[in-house]
Amino acid sequence: MSLLEIDNVTLRFGGVTAVSQVSFNVEEGEVFALVGPNGAGKSTLFNLISRIYDPAEGDIRFDGRTILDRKPHEMARLGIARTFQNIELFDHATVAQNLLVGRHRHRKSRMWTELLFTPFVRAQERHHREAIEKVIDFLDLQAYRDKYIAGLPYGVRKVVEMGRALAIEPRLLLLDEPASGLSVEETQDVAFWVEDIKKQMGITVLMVEHDMHLVASVSDRVLALADGKMLAMGTPHEVQNHPKVIEAYIGVADEHEKVLA
Amino acid sequence: MGVLQLIVSGLANGCVYGLIAMGFVLIYKATEAVNFAQGDFMMLGAFICLGLTNPQFMDLPFWVSVPIAIAIMGAFGYALDLVVLRRMFGQSQIAIVILTIALGFVLRFFAGVMWGHEPISLASPIAGRDVRFGGVVLGLDEVMVIAVTIVLTLLLWLYFNRTKLGVAMQASSQNQLAAYYMGIPVKRVHSLIWALSGMVAAVAGILFASKGSIDPSIGLLGIKAFAAAVIGGFGSLPGALLGGIIVGLIEPFSGRYMPSGYSQIMPYLLLFLILIFRPHGILAQVHAKKV
Amino acid sequence: MRTVFKTSYDADINLFRHPQQMGWYLALIMLALALPFLLSVFALGEATNVLIWAIACMGLMILVGQTGQASLGHAAFLAIGCYANVLLQQRLGLPFLLSFPLAGLIAGVAGALIAMPMTKLHGIYLAIGTIAITILTEDFIVIATPLTNGVIGLMAPPIDIFGFEIDRYRTPWLLYYLILAVTLLVVLAYRNLQRSPLGRSFAAIRDSEISAQAMGVNVARTKAVAFGISTGITGLAGALMGHYAGIFNNETFNLIISIQLLLAIVIGGLGSIHGAFFGAAVVAMLPQAIAIGRDVLGRFIGGGSIAIPGMETAIFGLLLILFILFEPMGIYGRWVKIRTYFELFPFYRKDMFRRQKAYLKTERMR
């Protein structure tokens, strides 16, 4: 049984079909990448998995059970964490506080005990801090621990967002363009981290990414999409050389070279 | 009063609410800001016209002072944006809401100092006359209010959908930065929209003053107009007028058919229900954020 | 700026960042305890009023500063707390020690229930919805005259705690101490909230609803809880206001009070407990300050004191406009800047607190 099963999913916005009969499975422990030109429906698929959109047809199953009867906020509790394409951090809070919000699904205290700050709440807080400290160490964020997000450079924010998703301790991590806007060195770091997330933490990764170097170096399997339809699926090498994929990109010669180089 | 008269007077009141609501909507459409002082703009417009016209002040002919009052309010709106609101560029909606509430306090105080707190009537040629349609006697003031409102709504609608500046105003509200890149002088467009909204407020004020006496606290009508704008659908000019008319009609009818305590809460009760069941008004614009 | 070397997780969790900070706040509490011996009866009454407003401001601050939800409806919850407290005492014969927390609870539950259908509303829609709450409550008090005595109003009985009679005029120092105790408890609860998961989920909703949801925060429910806690505290303030004012009716808690509360926390500084106190001090003492200013002015110009209706709110409005334009972080923001200036002397730079310019991008789609 696969960890995540996308089963013949279709989504329409008015007359536009954003995602059309897409099916694929993400196996436990693999890194699965979605590639495709802008508007191919990659982020829409993410939003479908996060339950922000309801599919018109098809089913999405996580761990063998449909998630279509769940609310968006229940996804974290199931073990699905995500990042956003255009960074959605809590700007008026510190890095540590952002990561602590990621711990929300592990909250066991109630409103009244928190207002009184009972010893139980304190113990729980210590435990949460221990957990986020591991993430901070893993992503080398020590220097920014108590800094407010509003003043941080773009590259660091991208990393913090990944850290916040890791603080959830998910089983499935959805990364929406983790390397967009990053320098070559920073992209390299992301590649190492994705590798470690898979190997050390045993978290399954589903990512959307335009940088084919990154995709080729970290992913086990790749699905290429265009106009909401599936083009090709397989290893990075197979997908890159698939005639349909080349055709989809060929319209724009420069981008074709850049993406497939 | 017959049912017809009730309807006409309700319509006339509703048109004034609708005009104030349109002032909100104009600014909201173009700048995403909400002007809580719109009611006080209306009050100020009414008082400026009264100050120019009435014999105890400047004693100008009514038809001379009306365009002057409208021009002054336009200039006031322009200057307000230039001096105050331009500094708020890019700040949150709520900051501007709070700022304009505070501005309302100041305007009310200013009007009180200038023209006193006693109710005064505008010496308007359309006040207190009747017109006859067949066997029905209607107040000229009320008929005028309705007619002027219809014409003004039509003009504004044409302006926003047919003229270059109107389209530029819409564009600048959708994405300020992109509008900049397209060569739209966003800041000047904002000032112009505040000027336009001031002028609409002046018209609303003059019409309202023609129907009865005014004092500085009539600015609080703005709250009712705000409710009207939400009922009709914020961000839609016809919606604002529709909401205004609904509120205007509810008031006299619930006043007539319901016990006294209940009639005044009806507009707000309707507002509450609309917010719960159709949050973006009857003529809604859909809100959604893309991630 | 002091750098604190954190050696344990508790350094993050504790109420005070370092011992000196605790010392300062203890000194402040000592001063507050000594006030009845230092001030005249009139001035003590003013101090009591400031504390009541501070409680109300903290209540609203949890909603606006912490959760990012604007409300112009909090006068309604002042009213609910005030009427509930007095009615529980008069109709059911409950003692103050029971009726007071119950009044807070009733206001809190009412707030959470009213908020539930409104949790999908944003910005201006929420503002207008909450305005409607204030207006409807004012009218409802008149409609429910058999219970509330309508426009004639109710009288708050003197507070009786274990045989001690607490009354604004006969035992002002006892009333002051009672309200000080409530204030400190509310501050403590507020601080506890800030350092626990619930408070963090409030802040998450304020900054980004969409990612709060992705983190597992039930946005609608958390907003309702924020409303509940906020209106509960406001209800407590309302109950105290009733005892302080002695007599109240439907007009005591009108829309102007709602607006003043919101303006107060903006002037004070959004998002901090300090801001609630600064704002409360401004609102509660402004009428006195204006009266004094008027007297002084009148003496210079001659012709006695000038009384112009609406001047109070106008000056208040003007203050607020100046603050929003020149110090959007409020009095607390200014205070932090001055403190930093002295801490870093002579290395303070003018642009240290400069904010990035943001362009508004609409969330509206057609």
How far lies B156's CA from each of B39, B152, B207, B211, in Å?
19, 6, 17, 24
Are residues B9 and B211 in contact, defined by beta-carbon separation less than 8 angstroms?
no
Provide the 3-class DSSP secondary structure of residue A218: helix
Give the C-alpha separation, B237 to B154, whole Å.
Answer: 10
Are residues B103 and C321 in contact, defined by beta-carbon separation less than 8 angstroms?
yes
Does residue B206 lie in a domain region?
yes
pLDDT tens digits, B233-284: 877 888 889 999 999 999 888 888 888 778 778 888 888 888 888 877 777 6
- Give the minimum alpha-carbon distance from C174 to chain A in angstroms, rounded to a whole number: 26
Domains in chain A: ranges and CATH: 26-90+153-260 (3.40.50.300)
Inform me whether the C-beta atom of residue C307 falls under 8 Å from chain B C-beta atoms: no
Give the C-alpha separation, B57 to C322, whole Å.
Answer: 32
Are residues B13 and B243 in contact, defined by beta-carbon separation less than 8 angstroms?
no
- Give the minimum alpha-carbon distance from C248 to chain A in angstroms, rounded to a whole number: 31
- Which of B286, B289, B291 best probes binding to A when mutated, by most A CB atoms within 10 angstroms? B291
Inform me whether the C-beta atom of residue A90 falls under 8 Å from chain B C-beta atoms: no
Instruction: Of C122, C195, A27, A207, give the one whose Cα is nearest residue B94.
Output: C122
Please state the pTM of the whole predicted model. Answer: 0.89
pLDDT tens digits, B79-117: 999 998 888 766 777 788 889 989 999 999 999 888 888
Provide the 3-class DSSP secondary structure of residue B109: helix
Listed by number, the residues of chain A in 41-80 with a beta carbon closer than 8 Å to a beta carbon of chain B are 43, 47, 52
Instruction: Of A115, A96, A135, give the one whose Cα is nearest residue C6.
Output: A96
Contacting chains of B (3 CB pairs or more, <8 Å) are A, C
- Give the minimum alpha-carbon distance from A161 to chain B in angstroms, rounded to a whole number: 14
Inform me whether the C-beta atom of residue B100 falls under 8 Å from chain C C-beta atoms: no
Q: At A199, list the tokens.
A: 């190997």
Does residue B282 lie in a domain region?
no
Say if the Cβ atoms of B32 and C308 lie within 8 Å. Answer: no
Residue A139 has pLDDT above 90, yes or no: yes
Chain B residues whose beta carbon lies within 8 Å of the beta carbon of residue A86: 291
Domain count, chain B: 1
The single-letter DSSP state of residue B217 is G
* A73 closest CB neighbour out of C197, C213, C356: C213
Give the C-alpha separation, C199 to C179, whole Å.
Answer: 25
Instruction: Of B36, B11, B21, give the one whose Cα is nearest residue B232.
Output: B21
- Give the minimum alpha-carbon distance from B291 to chain A in angstroms, rounded to a whole number: 7
How far lies B115's CA from each of A244, B44, B112, C186, C325, in Å?
77, 10, 6, 46, 29
Average pLDDT, integer, range A46-59: 93
Does residue B123 lie in a domain region?
yes
Give the C-alpha separation, C232 to C54, whole Å.
Answer: 14
Residues making up chain C, counted from first to last: 366
- Which of A44, A50, A51, A52 best probes binding to B when mutated, by most B CB atoms within 10 angstroms? A52
The per-residue pLDDT for B189 is 85
How far lies B16's CA from each of A11, B47, B201, B272, in Å?
45, 15, 9, 22
Q: At A148, list the tokens.
A: 């407010």
Average pLDDT, integer, range B14-25: 91
For every residue of B178-190, DSSP letters joined together read HHHHTT--HHHHH
What are the structural domain ranges in chain C?
17-258
* Among the ranges given (A68-77, B126-135, C209-218), the one the predictor scored with the smallest mean pLDDT: B126-135
- Tell me the backbone φ, ψ of residue A230, rounded to 5 degrees: -75, 135
Inform me whether the C-beta atom of residue B161 falls under 8 Å from chain C C-beta atoms: no
Tracing tokens 């969330």 back to the chain, one arrives at: C363
- Tell me the backbone φ, ψ of residue A182, rounded to 5 degrees: -95, 155
Nearest CA in chain B to C356: B90
Tracing tokens 């362009």 back to the chain, one arrives at: C359
What is the rounded average pLDDT for all residues in chain B? 85
Q: Over its length of 366 residues, how does chain C's per-residue pLDDT go in tens digits?
A: 567 778 888 888 888 888 888 999 999 999 999 999 999 999 999 999 999 999 999 999 999 999 989 899 999 999 999 999 999 999 999 999 999 999 999 999 999 999 998 888 877 788 888 999 999 999 999 999 899 988 899 999 999 888 888 888 888 999 999 999 999 999 999 999 999 999 999 999 998 899 999 999 999 999 999 999 999 999 999 999 999 999 999 889 988 899 899 989 999 988 899 999 999 999 988 888 888 887 787 777 655 445 667 778 888 889 888 988 888 888 888 888 888 888 777 777 766 665 554 444 444 332
Does residue B265 lie in a domain region?
no
Chain C residues whose beta carbon lies within 8 Å of the beta carbon of residue A120: none
The per-residue pLDDT for B46 is 94
Say if the Cβ atoms of B95 and C120 lie within 8 Å. Answer: no
The per-residue pLDDT for B278 is 81
Residue B24 has pLDDT above 90, yes or no: no
ipTM: 0.88
Does residue B277 lie in a domain region?
no
Contacting chains of C (3 CB pairs or more, <8 Å) are A, B
Does residue B11 lie in a domain region?
yes
Contacts 24+ apart (CB under 8 A), C354-358: C356/A150, C357/B89, C357/B90, C358/B90, C358/B91
* Among the ranges given (A12-16, B50-54, C103-107, C146-150), the one the predictor scored with the smallest mean pLDDT: A12-16
* Among the ranges given (A133-147, A188-202, B6-20, B221-235), the one the predictor scored with the smallest mean pLDDT: B221-235
Burial of A106 (0-12, 13-18, 19+ CB in 10 A): middle
Segments forming the whole domain that contains residue B85? 3-218
Percent of chain A, pLDDT > 70?
95
Listed by number, the residues of chain A in 52-81 with a beta carbon closer than 8 Å to a beta carbon of chain C are 52, 71-77, 81
Are residues C257 and C78 in contact, defined by beta-carbon separation less than 8 angstroms?
yes
Inform me whether the C-beta atom of residue B291 falls under 8 Å from chain A C-beta atoms: yes
